[in-house]
Amino acid sequence: MSWLGHLHLQYRSAQGAAGPRTVAHDRHDGPLRVLQALYPESPGICHHVLVHPPGGIVGGDELHIDVDVQAGAHALITTPGATRFYRSAGPLATQSARLRVDADARLEWLPLETLVHDGCRARNTLQLSLADGASMIGWDILALGLPASGQPLRSGCFEQQIDWPAHWLEQTRLDFEDPVQAGLTHRLLASPLGWRGHSVLVTAWCAARPAWSSQATEALTEDARSALSAHLSTHLSTPLSANLPAHRLAHPPAHPLTPASTHLPTHPLTHSPASSPAIGTPPLAGQRPAASATGTDAHHPTAGCASPPQPPWGVTSPHPGLVVARLLVHRTEAAWPALQAIRAAWRHRLWALPDVRPRVWRT
């Protein structure tokens, strides 16, 4: 039996006795829900936990998520666990999410990992829409197979897309079913210009309209570089065959690093985001980021280095008003501190907000 589910979330700003409050409305059909609206920070910021009671997505399932954040509202959406695409010999399993953010509104899209089981047949899409004055922080965590259990991704097909029309398009296609595509998929996963033998690709982004100034874009880029440099440790590169303990996050955005992201860092990362003023909302308008803000960094072992290499990572600004950070790792839990540090730094700079994390992440 296939599940058909649709969830529409709407957030609006209403004036309350204690000031502006983000009021949430949800409408659902099928197996998609949100838990009680929480306000751990202030009435103006609504935290929602999106749940899928069946626990996984299989062939024939269709899940659709629509999010509308209206003017003046601030929504944070996360999940209590991984989105799992299970093995299927039948039709595709699909999940689509459309995120619309109005003027002077903010959205944090922070789901836990998308876990792609061996033999799955699935498509996962995310579309962004930002009005003038809107801003958002988001991430995507794509984990392939269960390598710690000796079950890497070796069969099936999986497609993923992140699309901000006219601004940013990321696409991943892993296809072991078609003989021609299977060869390309194996090369992509093993290539130094692709996944480099890793099983997890983490992508984080912040976006806004109108575009930030070149100085603001450089600051946001440096925030992510500093967070990655400070929080990544050498044990992230432990081989997939190692006997690592299990974790609540089976693996905690999706696209290989480009050739440009193999450059070594050319300067120390000493920027401290906590001491910098927030950009504010709406963000500062400006021109295309300077060349220094559009470069990328990656860590590699140096000759004669005795310690294991750190995983490759990169930060870039592919379009004005957008900064993207990527990280390849073997397991997600070790990357979790770096990912949260990026989000905290961007949150402080964009909105002058502290690092308040959803309660569900601590359970």
Residue showing tokens 């984080």: 204
Give the β-pairing of 322-329 and 313-319: antiparallel
Rounded CA gap, 285 and 279, in Å? 10
Rounded CA gap, 3 and 14, in Å? 35
Rounded CA gap, 332 and 349, in Å? 26
Q: Write down the pTM of the prediction.
A: 0.82
Q: Which amino acid is at 232?
A: L
Bridge partners of residue 205, in order along the sequence: 138, 324
Output the six-digit token pair for 318.
Answer: 């592919």
Specify whether the CB–CB gap between 218 and 287 falls below 8 A: no
SS3 state of residue 189: helix
Bridge partners of residue 50, in order along the sequence: 34
pLDDT tens for the chain, 363 residues long, are: 788 999 999 999 999 888 899 999 999 998 899 999 999 999 999 999 999 988 899 999 999 999 999 999 999 999 999 999 999 988 999 999 999 999 999 999 999 999 999 999 999 999 999 999 999 999 999 999 998 888 999 999 999 999 999 999 999 999 999 999 999 999 999 999 899 999 999 999 999 999 999 999 999 999 999 999 998 854 344 333 222 222 323 333 333 333 233 222 222 222 333 334 455 433 322 333 333 333 334 443 333 344 556 679 999 999 999 999 999 999 988 789 999 999 999 999 999 999 999 999 987
Q: Which of 311, 283, 285, 287 is nearest to 297 (CA)?
A: 311
Bridge partners of residue 112, in order along the sequence: none
Q: Which of 231, 180, 257 is nearest to 333 (CA)?
A: 231
